[in-house]
Amino acid sequence: MQSFRTELENPIVEQEIIELEQKIRSYQSGQVAEEKFRSLRLARGVYGQRQAGVQMVRIKLPFGKVTFQQLLKIASISDEYASRNLHLTTRQDIQIHYVSLDKTPELWAKLAADDMTLREACGNTVRNVTASAAAGIDPEEPFDVSPYAHKTFSYFLRNPICAEMGRKFKISFSSSDRDTAFSYIHDFGFIPKVRVVDGEEQRGFKVMLGGGLGAQPILAEEVHDFLPEEDIIPYIEATLRVFDRHGERNNRNKARFKFLVQKLGLETVLQLIEAEQIAVKNKKVPIDRDAIEAPVLPNAAILAELPVDPLAFELWKSTNTFEQKQKGFYGAYANIQTGDISTEKARLLVDGIREHVADDIRITQDQNLLFKYIRESSLPAVYNTLHRLGFAKPGYNSTADITTCPGTDTCNLGISNSTEMARVLENYIHEFHRDFIQERELKIKISGCMNSCGQHGLAHIGFHGSSLKVNGHVVPAAQVMIGGGTLGNGQGRVADRVIKVPTKRVLQVVDVILADFKANKQDEQHFITYYEQQGKDHFYRLLKPLADLTNLTADEHIDWGHEERFETAIGVGECAGVVIDLVATLLLEAEEKVQLAELALERDQYADAIYHAYSSFVWTAKALLLDKGINASTQTAVIQEFDGQYVATGDFQFPTTFADRVLQINRYAPELEFARAYLRQAKAFHVEAAARREAWRTVNL
């Protein structure tokens, strides 16, 4: 591996990239354990693929905003380091695949030059903060939520309170009560509200807490009907502190925040959040409403074009465009099938539209692209570019616009090929169910496994990869989910598991459901209402003949997009990171936390210094507990167990208890005097613990 150094305007980013290179070297030389290195690279957006020896790199794009230059830069990087493809995700990121680990620092540096980061795009962190793609131009929005999403992203990036949690944490901002950012399935979901007090307009948010999809979907609960705008960041911070301290760390299947709410009860969690308010970094965080630069508007003098296919253009215009709240301008959606854009098409796309749209492209949650500030006279030109590239299919956000995760193409957890299934289904609906191209109240979503990266849990019709055993053979299957969807203003439904069928029968499943819906629905009835009216058993009986395994054909033993007989081959997923249980590694990390605390104190960052010191306390105690074979599953359990195993026995002495010493963190405001004292105590504890462990080891040798 060749040495790589970079000179960037941001010294923090430069140091991170240099550290990544150094850690890669240490890992390759055997100085850093596999699990520790995995945790480190995940927090830097580098994710192991299903294919050995290559990585997926996730580029974190807050609220899905990407400029022309950024898109071109990502394309050039994918050409140089990856597979010449860009994958748009349901969390508004861009992923590139088949990257050599050695090249990731160099790649990151080139992205950073255009203000893009990999930091905390994966791992046990605050993931990309999403927002409605139409934010800023949505005719129904009370105000633009983009600055709020951006502030949330920047405030918690590299923040010690959420750098190494038990699991990932997801936040969304919807632009209106239509809730197009799905607040109800997020750890935090925010919906903008406006109220008038004494004749003055105030901005705030309805707050949804504790939702999540995954294998066990849970709907979020409303905890505020109006939280003032300057209070949202402190409230998120207090919540993350609670999650970090009380969240599960051993059993990753129970480690999401939604399970902490389920375990302790919402009332208790809200009390814990309230108790943290004294210790948060800032009691109020004002939002710069002008933080997102106003886009440069396209040139009005450009000659209008004629659409290459006038009839198709009119259909596309009716389904894929809308007039913005800024009168005279339009938003237009490009249909990016399965979210995949070749680098060649990405360049042609930018070249074709850049004179007609604002330099503010948004990635949508359904893996498409939204272009903004298009003059009506430019719509044919935009359509013609999309038509040439195959991105002008009509029916944005309709039954014919299918969302999917990468499945077995690249993901370790994938069971079936969700991308090819999505392509086949989408093309099938365009050909045989054209009346559903304008149906926006019936969405199909597909995931390659039960974890819902393709959002099947909130679909009207959802599929996730599975398998069936038939006569000693394994057959690729699809679990059929029905009845999910967004109701609006924080309300939603999780889809029901109805039946499992061989995966090659999903076309028939869709045929049966759509035909039944068309034949029996009442005028203008939405599919969710129809599903509730008919009931789950109605759909089970409709689809039961398709689950019959006595008449399997040879083709049904083969998954979509494959030629060989199906076999399940599931790797170890990395979405949630790993638990580090090596005693020496934990003690080393605790020492690093002390050093980070000292650096933060020098910079007058008192809250950060205190939190790093707290982490050192916990890491050190956990290391000594592991020395006794005790693996506590939460930070609070670590603190309690240390009192029982070491303080009660007299091995360590404190004025009262270890818990009282450590939990000072939420009893004092983050000010200089407390930060100095707390850091001094943490440093002394680590030095004593390391010395005692070395002495114990020497005695036992």
Domain identity same for 418 and 531: yes
Domain identity same for 157 and 102: no
Residue 305 forms part of a structural domain:
no
- As a whole number of angstroms, the distance between CA 147 and CA 432 comes to 43
Residue 189 has, within 13 A of its CA and on its CB side, a CA count of 30
- As a whole number of angstroms, the distance between CA 458 and CA 543 comes to 20
Q: What is the mean pLDDT of residues 113-131?
A: 94
What pLDDT is recorded for position 463? 96
Residue 397 forms part of a structural domain:
no
Give kind and range of the element (H or E) at residue 419: helix 418-432
Provide the percentage of residues in the chain whose pLDDT is more than 90. 77
Band of residue 49 on the pLDDT scale cut at 50, 70, 90: confident
Q: What is the mean pLDDT of residues 182-194?
A: 98
Band of residue 576 on the pLDDT scale cut at 50, 70, 90: very low
- The residue among 279, 302, 325 that closes a domain is 279
Domain identity same for 418 and 551: yes
Q: What is the mean pLDDT of residues 342-348?
A: 98
Q: Hey, how many other C-beta atoms are within 10 angstroms of the C-beta on 630?
A: 15
Q: What is the mean pLDDT of residues 517-541?
A: 96
* Among 618, 595, 470, 483, CA closest to 539: 483
Tokens of 499: 């039946």
What pLDDT is recorded for position 578? 36
DSSP designation for 440: -
Residue 447 forms part of a structural domain:
yes
Domain identity same for 261 and 137: yes
The angle at the Cα of 146, spanning 97 to 41, to the nearest 5 degrees, equals: 30
- As a whole number of angstroms, the distance between CA 194 and CA 196 comes to 7
Tokens of 481: 């989910």
What pLDDT is recorded for position 413? 72
Residue 54 forms part of a structural domain:
yes
Band of residue 519 on the pLDDT scale cut at 50, 70, 90: very high
- As a whole number of angstroms, the distance between CA 452 and CA 472 comes to 28
Domain identity same for 107 and 136: no
By the 8 A CB rule, do 206 and 226 touch?
yes
Domain identity same for 380 and 423: no
Position 647 pLDDT exceeds 50 = yes
Q: Is 165 exposed, middle or buried (0-12, 13-18, 19+ CB in 10 A)?
A: buried
Domain identity same for 134 and 88: no
What are the residues whose beta carbons fall under 8 Å from the beta carbon of 240, sequence distance 6 or more? 126, 156, 161, 162, 165, 169
CATH number of the domain enclosing 321: 3.30.70.3340
Domain identity same for 85 and 160: no
User: By 3-state DSSP, what share of the chain in percent is helix, strand and coil, each rounded to 5?
Assistant: 45, 15, 40
Band of residue 692 on the pLDDT scale cut at 50, 70, 90: confident
Position 570 pLDDT exceeds 70 = no
Domain identity same for 367 and 467: no
Domain identity same for 144 and 258: yes
Q: What is the mean pLDDT of residues 452-471?
A: 92
Whole-number average pLDDT of the chain = 92
- The residue among 517, 539, 557 that closes a domain is 557
Q: What is the mean pLDDT of residues 575-582?
A: 42
- As a whole number of angstroms, the distance between CA 222 and CA 183 comes to 10
Provide the percentage of residues in the chain whose pLDDT is more than 70. 95
How do residues 36-47 score in pLDDT, each as one tens digit? 787 778 888 888
Give the SS3 label for residue 490.
Answer: coil
Buried b (16+ CB within 10 A) or exposed e, 444-469: bbbbbbbbbbbbbbbbbbbbbbbbbe
Q: What is the mean pLDDT of residues 292-317?
A: 90
What pLDDT is recorded for position 452? 85
Give kind and range of the element (H or E) at residue 363: strand 361-363
CATH number of the domain enclosing 80: 3.90.480.20
How do residues 257-281 score in pLDDT, each as one tens digit? 999 999 999 999 999 999 999 999 9
By the 8 A CB rule, do 144 and 194 touch?
no
Domain identity same for 89 and 171: no
Give the SS3 label for residue 475.
Answer: strand
Task: Considering only residues 7 and 54, tell me which one the structure prediction assigns the higher pLDDT.
Answer: 54
Give the SS3 label for residue 94.
Answer: strand
Q: How many helices (H) and strands (E) does the chain have?
A: 20, 22
Residue 124 forms part of a structural domain:
no
Q: What is the mean pLDDT of residues 685-696?
A: 88
What pLDDT is recorded for position 416? 79
What angle, 0 to 180 degrees and rounded to 10, lies between the N-to-C axes of helices 34-42 and 11-28? 150
Give the SS3 label for residue 492.
Answer: strand
Alpha-carbon Rg for the chain in angstroms: 26
Q: What is the mean pLDDT of residues 546-564?
A: 89
CATH number of the domain enclosing 682: 1.20.120
What pLDDT is recorded for position 301? 76
Position 1 pLDDT exceeds 70 = no
* Among 216, 321, 296, CA closest to 263: 216
- As a whole number of angstroms, the distance between CA 656 and CA 579 comes to 30
Q: DSSP secondary structure string, 150-213? A: HHHHHHHTT-GGGSS-SS-B-EEE-SSTT-TT-GGGSSEEEEEEEEEETTEEEEEEEEEES-B-
Tokens of 93: 């990121």
By the 8 A CB rule, do 606 and 671 touch?
yes
For the chain, the domain total comes to: 5
Q: What is the mean pLDDT of residues 6-33?
A: 79
What pLDDT is recorded for position 582? 62
- As a whole number of angstroms, the distance between CA 691 and CA 167 comes to 32
Residue 171 forms part of a structural domain:
yes
What are the residues whose beta carbons fall under 8 Å from the beta carbon of 503, sequence distance 6 or more? 416, 421, 465, 476, 477, 478, 556, 559, 560
What pLDDT is recorded for position 296? 84
By the 8 A CB rule, do 361 and 286 touch?
no
What are the residues whose beta carbons fall under 8 Å from the beta carbon of 342, sequence distance 6 or more? 84, 85, 86
Domain identity same for 136 and 275: yes
- As a whole number of angstroms, the distance between CA 201 and CA 179 comes to 22
The residue segments making up the domain with residue 463 are 411-557
* Among 363, 443, 365, 433, CA closest to 401: 443
- As a whole number of angstroms, the distance between CA 517 and CA 449 comes to 27
Position 386 pLDDT exceeds 50 = yes
By the 8 A CB rule, do 232 and 190 touch?
yes
CATH number of the domain enclosing 496: 3.30.413.10
Q: What is the mean pLDDT of residues 226-253?
A: 96
* Out of 45-54, 71-80, 136-145, least confident range: 45-54
Query: From its phi and psi, is residue 382 left (phi > 0), alpha (psi between -120 and 50) or beta?
Result: alpha
* Among 305, 337, 347, CA closest to 73: 347
Residue 444 forms part of a structural domain:
yes
Contacts of 585-589 with CB under 8 Å at 24 or more apart are 585/33, 585/36, 586/619, 586/620, 586/622, 586/623, 586/626, 587/619, 587/620, 587/623, 587/686, 587/689, 587/690, 587/693, 589/619
Position 637 pLDDT exceeds 80 = yes
Residue 287 forms part of a structural domain:
no
- The residue among 112, 139, 155 that closes a domain is 112
By the 8 A CB rule, do 345 and 72 touch?
no
By the 8 A CB rule, do 500 and 525 touch?
no
Band of residue 14 on the pLDDT scale cut at 50, 70, 90: confident
What pLDDT is recorded for position 697? 65
Q: What is the mean pLDDT of residues 612-630?
A: 94
Tokens of 594: 């002390």
What pLDDT is recorded for position 507? 96
How do residues 651-668 score in pLDDT, each as one tens digit? 999 999 999 999 999 999
Position 698 pLDDT exceeds 80 = no
